[in-house]
């Protein structure tokens, strides 16, 4: 186990679906953010409405937090089975806080503090509502950590205010019972900070970034873990003038988004791997008709329905091979919610500038994790809308929708433009859109149009940013990651530095087309190790395919749960 830093605490609450695990975490996260504290939370839940094994873990710190942490300082088991499953994970000197009405403790650990409260005894008037135990135990946790109970009351009022005053008062009453009857506390060094944080998920950031970036049409069919993007648009779409549609399946979803893009509307849709499988033929049609569209794939464990509520970075090659044949596309993978906010808008820009499908890859961890983001890191004014070349007048010229140009990007007109009409066919066609393969396939024209479309890739990759490079000169180890592994690599790097090891971190967000400079950067270092949440190290394969640079040392995880600093720290020892 790793030593915990002064000024941070890790809290884990565990129960069954329906026990109020998420409500506990949501309330605690709001309290922490209002105290100016950094936080990161991960909710490990199952795909059942009631029952199952669910746990949520949150790290709270005086500073910005990048992961949900490792072993908890405080465990809150909401039932007997979760007590048994998690009791050994508590760090020495930590706390197990429980409702003695539902949890019976035997064989107490001598190195752990036990805080026993009874909802039946402390709040008999509410004891018939078993779910109220979570707010009782939250009050105890707030007391132990030294958080602001008065501020917690305000959070409760705002959270439950839509119900009625009776519900609000009941929750405050039970919280106070837990807070006032917990006679033990510990100095974790957690103090109120003069900072302001948003508490957002990656999906929230994607949706908000797209809205600020000019998205005017959003389509989806609910599929975990992408569904909360739809929730955000459904709640906020009207305010931003966005048409939001839920369709009967993912085939309808992507075709509707492509249709919206065709008529000049900035369009986005989202799904997970299973739904993305259904979308792939239509994605190819967007490429052939050179129609801009953004598709979010929030990855989960596969294949098939796989692990519906677990995380994995397993769909990179699915995104690379979406649809048949060769065609220009872009794949980007933000590293955290801040990147997700800006890159969501950037995806819309890339799609319209180059008239291509753009795939935004995230995963369950980033999509649904709660992150405390400092106010100054989210600045809507930094988002610029770039729509590419749109022709509004022709001055008597013949219009060629798919004109062969030096960049491969043809002048685009929007339907309804006076004096212009053209065919947008999914069969191969000439510059004017007329099919070349219905009676006779013109090989020269096919070759010209393929080269014209693929020429875009040369210019897309020039627009892509270089990978994030952070760390020490002459490192003992260089970690390579992409997407959501950024936070855990960053925290693990700090742990290694405290032990006298020099660490470098190269992180990729612009995945495809591949910048050759990535191989040049990595070739400077001797001990390069890639970190991926998949079985086959998909990004290292892509890098070798595109550049010839091979990463032989790998740390891979594919059990459905995300990396933690302790896991990555232990695995990295074999390469040191």
pLDDT of residue 3: 55
> Within 10 Å of residue 511's Cβ, how many Cβ atoms?
23
Average pLDDT over residues 112-140: 93
Triad 98, 101, 106: Cα angle to 5°: 60
**Residue 40: which of 76, 70, 77 has the closest Cα?**
70
Distance CA 293, CA 348 (A): 7
> Which of 52-66, 137-151, 430-444, 531-545 shows the lowest mean pLDDT across its residues?
430-444
pLDDT of residue 266: 98
Q: Which two tokens stand for residue 135?
A: 């707010």
Domain 8-180 has CATH 3.10.20.30: no
pLDDT of residue 163: 79
Alpha helices in 433-481 (DSSP H): 443-454, 456-463
Give the CATH number of domain 199-381.
Answer: 3.40.50.970
Count of all residues that appear for the chain in the document: 576
Position of tokens 């001990």? 527
* pLDDT above 60 (res 439): yes
- For residue 299, the 8-state DSSP code is E
pLDDT of residue 396: 75
Residue 116, judged by CB atoms within 10 A of its CB (0-12, 13-18, 19+), counts as middle
Average pLDDT over residues 231-235: 98
Distance CA 282, CA 322 (A): 9
353 HSE (CA, 13 A, CB side):
18
Domains 8-180 and 199-381 share a fold: no
Written in H, E and C, the secondary structure of 105-153 is CCCCCCCCEEEEECHHHHCHHHCCCHHHHHHHHHHHHHHHHCCCHHHHH
Residue 525, judged by CB atoms within 10 A of its CB (0-12, 13-18, 19+), counts as middle
Q: Which residue has the higher pLDDT, 163 or 450?
A: 450
SS3 38: strand
Type and span of the H or E element at 367: helix 364-368
Average pLDDT over residues 180-209: 96
Q: Which two tokens stand for residue 366?
A: 């980033």
Please measure the distance between the N-terminal and C-terminal CA atoms of the chain and give it in whole angstroms: 18
Q: What percent of the chain has pLDDT above 70?
A: 99
* pLDDT above 80 (res 107): yes
CB neighbour list of residue 381: distance below 8 Å, 6 or more residues apart: none
What is the chain's mean pLDDT, rounded?
95
Triad 533, 528, 303: Cα angle to 5°: 20
Distance CA 147, CA 32 (A): 8
Distance CA 405, CA 306 (A): 44
pLDDT of residue 419: 84
Measured CA to CA in angstroms, residue 341 lies from 344, 375, 463 at distances of 6, 13, 18
pTM of the model as a whole: 0.95
> Which of 82-86, 104-108, 190-194, 313-317 shows the lowest mean pLDDT across its residues?
104-108
Distance CA 108, CA 111 (A): 9
Distance CA 404, CA 132 (A): 67
Sheet containing strand 113-117, strands side by side: 113-117, 95-99, 74-77, 8-17, 51-61, 38-44, 370-374, 197-200
CB neighbour list of residue 439: distance below 8 Å, 6 or more residues apart: none
Note the pLDDT tens digit of each residue in 254-285. Answer: 999 999 999 999 999 999 999 999 999 999 99
Q: Which two tokens stand for residue 259?
A: 């249709």
pLDDT of residue 57: 98
Triad 192, 195, 196: Cα angle to 5°: 115
- Residue pair 357/351 in contact by the 8 Å Cβ criterion: yes
**Residue 198: which of 380, 382, 470 has the closest Cα?**
380
43, β-bridge pairs? 56
Q: Which residue has the higher pLDDT, 149 or 18?
A: 149
* pLDDT above 70 (res 110): yes
Alpha helices in 161-249 (DSSP H): 165-180, 202-212, 227-236
Average pLDDT over residues 425-452: 94
**Residue 216: which of 190, 240, 182, 199 has the closest Cα?**
240
pLDDT of residue 1: 47
- Residue pair 195/36 in contact by the 8 Å Cβ criterion: yes
Q: Where are the domains of the chain?
A: 8-180, 199-381, 389-449, 464-575
Distance CA 115, CA 97 (A): 5
- Residue pair 50/170 in contact by the 8 Å Cβ criterion: no
CATH architecture under which domain 464-575 falls? 3-Layer(aba) Sandwich (3.40)
470, β-bridge pairs? 505
pLDDT of residue 4: 59
Q: Which two tokens stand for residue 509?
A: 């967000």
Note the pLDDT tens digit of each residue in 467-498. Answer: 999 999 999 999 999 999 999 999 999 999 99
SS3 388: coil
Task: Write the DSSP string, 226-290.
Answer: THHHHHHHHHHTGGGT-EEEE-SSHHHHHHHHHHHHHTT--EEEEE-HHHHHHHHHHHHHHHHHT
Note the pLDDT tens digit of each residue in 29-64. Answer: 999 999 999 999 999 988 877 888 999 999 999 999
């Amino acid at each position: 186990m790793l030593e915990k830093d002064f000024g941070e605490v890790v809290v884990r609450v565990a129960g069954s679906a329906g026990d109020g695990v998420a409500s506990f975490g949501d309330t605690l996260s709001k309290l922490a953010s209002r105290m100016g504290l950094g936080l990161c939370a991960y909710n490990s839940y199952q795909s059942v409405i009631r029952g199952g094994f669910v746990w949520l873990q949150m790290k709270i710190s005086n500073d910005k937090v990048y992961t949900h942490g490792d072993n908890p300082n405080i465990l809150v088991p909401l039932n007997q089975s979760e007590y048994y499953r998690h009791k050994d994970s508590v760090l020495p000197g930590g706390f197990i806080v429980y409702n003695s009405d539902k949890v019976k403790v035997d064989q107490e650990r001598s190195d752990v503090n036990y805080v026993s409260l009874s909802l039946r005894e402390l709040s008999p008037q509410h004891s018939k509502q078993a779910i109220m135990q979570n707010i009782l135990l939250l009050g105890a946790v707030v007391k132990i950590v030294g958080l602001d109970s008065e501020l917690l009351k305000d959070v409760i009022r705002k959270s439950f205010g839509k119900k009625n005053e009776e519900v609000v008062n009941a929750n405050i009453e039970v919280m106070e019972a837990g807070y006032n009857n917990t006679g033990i506390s510990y100095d974790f060094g957690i103090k109120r900070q003069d900072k302001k944080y948003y508490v957002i998920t990656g999906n929230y950031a994607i949706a908000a970034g797209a809205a600020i970036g000019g998205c005017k049409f959003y389509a989806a069919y609910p599929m975990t873990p992408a569904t909360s993007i739809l929730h955000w648009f459904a709640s906020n779409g009207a305010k931003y003038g966005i048409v939001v549609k839920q369709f009967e399946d993912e085939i309808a979803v992507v075709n509707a988004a492509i249709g919206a893009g065709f008529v000049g509307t900035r369009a986005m849709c989202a799904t997970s791997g299973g739904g993305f499988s259904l979308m792939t033929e239509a994605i190819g049609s967007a490429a052939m008709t050179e129609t801009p569209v953004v598709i979010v794939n929030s990855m989960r464990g596969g294949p098939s329905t796989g692990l519906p509520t677990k995380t994995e970075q397993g769909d990179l090659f699915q995104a690379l091979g979406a649809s048949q044949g060769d065609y220009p596309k872009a794949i980007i993978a933000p590293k955290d919610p801040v990147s997700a906010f800006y890159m969501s808008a950037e995806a819309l820009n890339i799609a319209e500038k180059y008239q291509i499908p753009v795939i935004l890859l995230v995963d369950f961890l980033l999509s649904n994790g709660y992150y405390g983001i400092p106010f100054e890191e989210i600045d809507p004014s930094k988002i610029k809308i770039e729509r590419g070349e749109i022709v509004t007048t022709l001055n008597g010229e013949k219009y060629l929708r798919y004109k062969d140009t030096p960049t491969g990007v043809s002048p685009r007109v929007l339907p309804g433009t006076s004096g212009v009409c053209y065919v947008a066919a999914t069969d191969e066609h000439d510059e004017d859109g007329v099919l070349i393969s219905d009676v006779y396939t013109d090989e020269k024209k096919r070759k010209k149009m393929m080269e014209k479309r693929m020429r875009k890739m040369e210019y897309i990759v020039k627009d892509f940013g270089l990978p994030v490079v952070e760390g020490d000169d002459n490192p003992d180890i260089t970690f390579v990651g992409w997407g959501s592994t950024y936070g855990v690599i960053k925290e693990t790097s700090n742990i290694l530095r405290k032990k006298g090891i020099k660490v470098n971190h190269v992180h990729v967000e612009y995945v495809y087309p591949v910048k050759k400079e990535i191989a040049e950067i990595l070739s400077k270092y001797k001990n390069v190790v890639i970190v991926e949440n998949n079985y086959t190290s998909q990004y290292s394969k892509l890098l070798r395919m595109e550049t010839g640079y091979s990463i032989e040392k790998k740390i891979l995880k594919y059990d459905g749960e995300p990396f933690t600093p302790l896991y990555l720290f232990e695995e990295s020892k074999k390469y040191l």
